[in-house]
Chain A
Amino acid sequence: MIKDILKILENDARTTTKQIAAMTGTPSAEVAKLIKQAEKDRIILKYKTVISWDKVGDEQVWALIEVKVTPQKDVGFDSIAERIYRFSQARTVYLVSGTYDLLVVVVDKTEHRVADFVSQKLAPIEGVQGTVTHFLLKRYKEDGETLEGKEEVKRQPVTL
């Protein structure tokens, strides 16, 4: 049941408790209780909105930064990751397989500020061997939503 509720909320965080109750055939009070519990257990981390900032003329600079790390004795990847994710500019931090170890998504106001972050904060961290910064040029799809307008094909008004 909680999984059904989470799926609905993941797709649209504004779905009301009452709507979820109808969509799952569960009493409202039960839905509310399950959501509360999921928030408490940090299963639901937060409710956010996917926004096309370009449209309001507010340009953001996004960078995907590959970080190569030398895991240190007794420290490992986790503590280096933690030193990085504590910076508020680091929107997302993943440990990945392949030619580098950590993928850090940084969002800031200007390229300059991102560059400063990489050279002054990220690179000097002990254990960080090197970084490769990719500035994001265009977003096509974000969290399952395409940023360009959706084309809609009309159906016949009635079919039996």
Chain B
Amino acid sequence: MLITSKGQPKKYRNPISQRINRLSPSGIRRFFDLLASMEEVISLGIGEPDFVTPWHIREAAISSLEKGYTMYTPNSGMPELRQELSRYLKDNYNLAYDPDSELLITVGVSEGLDLAMRAVLDPGDEVIIPDPCYVSYDSCVILAGGTPVMVPTYQENNFEISPADIESRITGRTKVILIGYPANPTGAVLGQAKLTQIAEVARRHQLLVISDEIYAKLVYGIEHTCLASLPEMKERTILLGGFSKAYAMTGWRIGYAAGSKEIIAAMTKIHQYTMLCASIMGQVAAIEALKSGEASTTEMVEEYNRRRLVIVKGLNNIGLPCFEPRGAFYAFPSIKGTGMTSEKFAERLLIEEKVAVVPGSAFGQHGEGYVRCCYATSLADIEEALSRMKRFVAKHQAK
């Protein structure tokens, strides 16, 4: 009889699949548990807007409920939402996606990532990913049977992935380049020149590119370039976007995928069997967001920008060197001067000063030496957190 560690008989031989066992458990579980046990912490660790969804969007959803919008929608999403989305992509990037065959409404970008991987990967196919990166990227690849191939990115290069580094990792098994800019956790962006070079690499080696552009609207003093809008890239790009960040709609769980007919059809097939459709309430809200959410987004972006300037300057002033992030709502300062690992730094900072930041190591090997500070929180909290961190750094500066 198989016995578990708790001494009870096991009901199954190997209850967990090998594939899931390959997923790395979150390396910073201990830190999260510690955080959960503490009160009155100023958290710079929350990767979502501190704004609630603008009222006009909430109101649209409420009134749809009153009217009885409570049913399934078509698998690929409500036609009106796909039409609005098609118009939005045309207006913003001059990209023409057919609402009936080239767009799919997903349960957040999270589902979009999963569907994209499962739709295109065969066992052993390799996916090139920047490191550090959003925590789901390599896991989604592994879940789909693929192999993540990490490309280190560095503070000296503003955490931009280098096209040459991508190219040097391409093998016969490489199928996809997965990038997400503006980036979580670094706040890095890729300008048109660099994206154009990446596009060239993808074309030269006949690779697909999955581009997670969930933070597209959150850029500061620059224009976001959509990868799919570059020459000949629409057909080889799976564009993932969402409503969570730009419209402060994380809890609604709505995102989208845009791509070629063939790939969208494959993703829709999986979505149809595993998800059926995204929630109708969320979709109605998303329609309103696309129709008249621009002003609220602009206002939020202006506010993020003020906080961004405060936190970046503040971190640099207290001895945590930080490159200037031009997108998303994260600052990613180096903590190397303290001589601590990022996890140690986060844990001590939490215990000693009750400020929560996320260890960079949570986002990959090359996130070590950094911590992620999210500035989607009030200015007052940011200023207080900075003054506590100042005290902390002064105390622990490596002697």
Contacts and interface: CB of A to CB of B under 8 A. Distances in A.
A157 B306 contact: no
Given A23-B379, A153-B52, A158 B45 contact: yes
A24 interface: yes
A25 B52 CA distance: 27
A158 B309 contact: no
Given A7-B302, A158-B358, A160-B362, A23 B43 contact: no
Interface in A1-54: 7-8, 19, 22-25
A159 interface: yes
Interface of B: 32, 35-36, 41, 43, 45-48, 50, 52, 134-135, 184-185, 302, 306-307, 309-310, 313-314, 356, 358, 362-363, 379, 383
B50 A157 contact: no
A156 interface: yes
Contact of A158 (B43, B306, B313, B363): B43
Contacts of B50: 155
Nearest to B52: A153
A156 B134 CA distance: 18
Chain A contact patch, size range: 10 to 19
Contacts of A7: 302
B41 A155 contact: no
Interface string A139-160: 0000000000000010111111
Contact of A157 (B46, B52, B184): B46
Contacts of B356: 157-158
A153 B184 CA distance: 24
B309 A24 contact: yes
A69 B313 CA distance: 56
Interface of A: 7-8, 19, 22-25, 153, 155-160
Contact of A22 (B46, B135, B184, B314): B314
A158 B310 contact: no
A10 to B, nearest CB: 13
A60 to B, nearest CB: 29
A25 B309 contact: yes
Given A22-B314, A155-B48, A8 B306 contact: yes
Q: Which 3 interchain pairs have the tightest Cβ spacing?
A: A158-B45, A23-B306, A22-B310
Contacts of A153: 52
14 contacts: A19-B310, A19-B383, A23-B306, A155-B50, A156-B46, A157-B35, A157-B36, A157-B43, A157-B356, A158-B35, A158-B47, A159-B46, A159-B48, A160-B184
Nearest to B357: A158
Nearest to A7: B302
A156 B49 CA distance: 12
Contact of B358 (A19, A155, A160): A160
B41 A157 contact: yes
Contacts of A157: 35-36, 41, 43, 45-46, 356
Q: Indicate the member of B41, B46, B306, B362 with the most A CB atoms within 10 Å.
A: B306
B314 A158 contact: no
Given A7-B302, A160-B135, A160-B362, 17 more contacts: A8-B306, A19-B310, A19-B383, A23-B307, A23-B379, A155-B43, A155-B46, A155-B48, A155-B50, A156-B46, A157-B36, A157-B43, A158-B35, A158-B43, A159-B45, A160-B134, A160-B358
